[in-house]
Chain A
């Protein structure tokens, strides 16, 4: 498969792609509308979380604005027993895995060390170290091989991560052992302020070839095409054909995180160019032309999104700060004398506040 895979163009036209579209033959209008709703909802979650950060309720938030199709298309292609290893930006994938919106923000509010139990949702908690999760994915995939099931490990990472040693090592091992892992790279064009053109002389997908891993480049703003190629890659892995590398070409329309200002390093014209390729707008155009998306159904989707946002806000504001001493609880499984000593010292420190607390 060569060239950029596309099924719905930026202006909302369905494009023929005989060798790809069979993978999404079952996605009828109704299921496409559900994908549309997913994308609208996760964009709304993203906007609300960004607002919560600006209001001092979250310490930080990494927005995914513009990457909805890449994450929903791939996230909805997964089976429950597949296992996701993601970076900190894959909040839409987490949404697909059924993780609650409150659990999404707990870590960013600083009230917990981990937002959810990875084994409940078969998704590891976000990896902040760039690309480190790809090693975990390959390792997990080797475990799947040992168990002999047909589940797949999926690693999500960005264009910048492909320059990291961890990602390269993960691909070497995955290729050598034909591990059932999908390397899903969202090339959002910017590694914080470093443009992709500065860090790779080839297109990102071509990097996979050097490891002997077949690569597919897909329009990451085309939810249907993303779903098709993800299913294809998952199928290869399930059949024991080893890893596949997907480059979803997309664009981070917002800042790297809420602590970043992209206007300092990129031109407004570039953003305008990508706004034309917006993943939600193009699907809306397509669905409207087919009469599936009407004013009525569009409003219903927006209402759902608003409800989820309200749920997120209430859930976030309702999170209680943890008891200070709970910090020591999950460091070691068994009692540990040094830790107990630290805990006691901290307790006596906290007790020094007592009279002050009593007068408050």
Chain B
């Protein structure tokens, strides 16, 4: 029973007296979070703080929260700079505290009480709990490993022993069932140390990557490393997920959109559109929704778990928007039920809220098809990456006047290139080309909408 008592003892309260330095580690501010970003410090070293005085703003995956000081005393050290993403359990600040006060239990991740769950933010997380693979799965893809090596399998007591004996599990080959590292392996390694050179290489490589990771932007003579947080981090993860799960292909179509350009100019002069920002993108939205009605298979998604396809009855249209924080894809719900004026209004509102950073999470989910207006950046075409949970994405290139065949002659016409990337599990080349050509047809001759509707 002594072991049990020991565990209990390490968690109990201890009393310290007179002047003591207290370190504060980043707690799990939500439920089941593994890291958070220190957005701003409200204190500096040497400051005197009161208990519960706000010392920092911290952004988690769930909320931006204020951090109240856990002690009254003097700030002795800030361990991380503002803008840094810190792992839960990492020390962030220390205080010099007068007199005796109960010191809190050692910071270990508190239990997840309610099943809210949280996204796994860190690449380290899968390494802690290696998944048991049960034979080949349909559509399985190699997992990305940050270190490039597979994590070694072991149990928590063995990992604890290894860390206490200073044994690096990555250097061991397990002799247990299925290659699992046992206590005996660790003890053997501890009594018969690995050749020094090998250890040093691993250690220094680790130190380098740790330094690059933890600094808020560590600069050297020829490079600058910047931390990736918030929206940009989510974008990176979403892109990896899309590219590693959905086989994608892209088809292109260049279209003479002069008639649409003329029609929009004509409409802008009418009373209904006087106060609206009627853009070319609005017309693309209308064309896409009409074409989706004819090609419902494009307005759909692939379900990994069940290996089947869900077709949506309505179009929840995502619009890729560049914001100061990174790429966001806010959606227009039931876009297929909107008329042109309503589309223009919705697009305008969406651009404004995403630039202002006030897009609500609810407006970022549930998309069934996405449009990326890369033409806004002056480029002709692109190979967009399909948004997770959708079957296709359309990139709209810049509308430019180009020499084009027009009624048997060469003329300067408004031309735009459309690029459609699609999830090849859901759609084939014929289906996606047919859809894209319908979108092109509508933009080259908007009057064709009569025939389609």
Contacts and interface: CB of A to CB of B under 8 A. Distances in A.
Asked if A and B are interacting partners, one says yes
Interface of A: 47-48, 51, 53-60, 107-110, 128, 193, 255, 258-261, 263-265, 314, 317-318, 320-325, 347, 349-360
B182 to A, nearest CB: 11
Interface in B1-34: 2-8, 10-13, 24-31
B63 A260 contact: yes
Contact of A54 (B2, B11, B66, B160): B66
A146 B395 CA distance: 71
B110 A357 contact: no
A355 B104 contact: no
Contact of A353 (B7, B116, B361): B7
Contact of A352 (B24, B183, B362): B183
Contacts of B160: 353, 356
User: Which of A265, A353, A359 neighbours the largest number of chain B CB atoms within 10 Å of its CB?
Assistant: A353
A59 B30 CA distance: 8
Given A110-B113, A321-B11, A353-B160, A56 B107 contact: yes
14 contacts: A53-B29, A54-B67, A54-B68, A55-B27, A110-B110, A261-B65, A324-B7, A325-B4, A347-B4, A352-B157, A353-B157, A356-B164, A358-B6, A360-B6
Nearest to B115: A128
Nearest to A357: B6
A350 to B, nearest CB: 6
Given A259-B63, A355-B161, A59 B31 contact: yes
Given A259-B30, A261-B63, A359-B164, A320 B11 contact: yes
B70 interface: yes
- Ranked 8 nearest A-B pairs via Cβ: A56-B27, A261-B63, A321-B11, A352-B157, A59-B110, A259-B30, A55-B70, A51-B68
B114 interface: yes
Nearest to B25: A56
B31 A54 contact: no
Contacts of B25: 56
Given A110-B110, A193-B362, A314-B102, A56 B28 contact: yes
Interface in B112-154: 112-114, 116
Given A265-B362, A355-B161, A317 B4 contact: no
Given A60-B113, A265-B362, A324 B157 contact: no
Given A60-B31, A60-B114, A323-B4, A317 B104 contact: yes
B241 interface: no
Contacts of B116: 259
B445 to A, nearest CB: 42
Contacts of B113: 59-60, 107-108, 110
A40 to B, nearest CB: 16
A320 B111 contact: no
Contacts of A261: 62-65
Contacts of B28: 56, 59
A353 B67 CA distance: 35
Contact of A360 (B11, B12, B62, B164): B164
Contacts of A58: 110
Given A59-B112, A356-B160, A54 B65 contact: yes
Nearest to B56: A54
B107 A259 contact: no
A316 B63 CA distance: 25
B269 to A, nearest CB: 36
Contact of B27 (A54, A107, A317, A355): A54
Given A55-B70, A352-B157, 16 more contacts: A54-B68, A56-B70, A57-B70, A59-B28, A128-B114, A258-B65, A259-B30, A317-B102, A321-B12, A323-B8, A351-B3, A352-B155, A353-B3, A354-B3, A355-B161, A357-B7
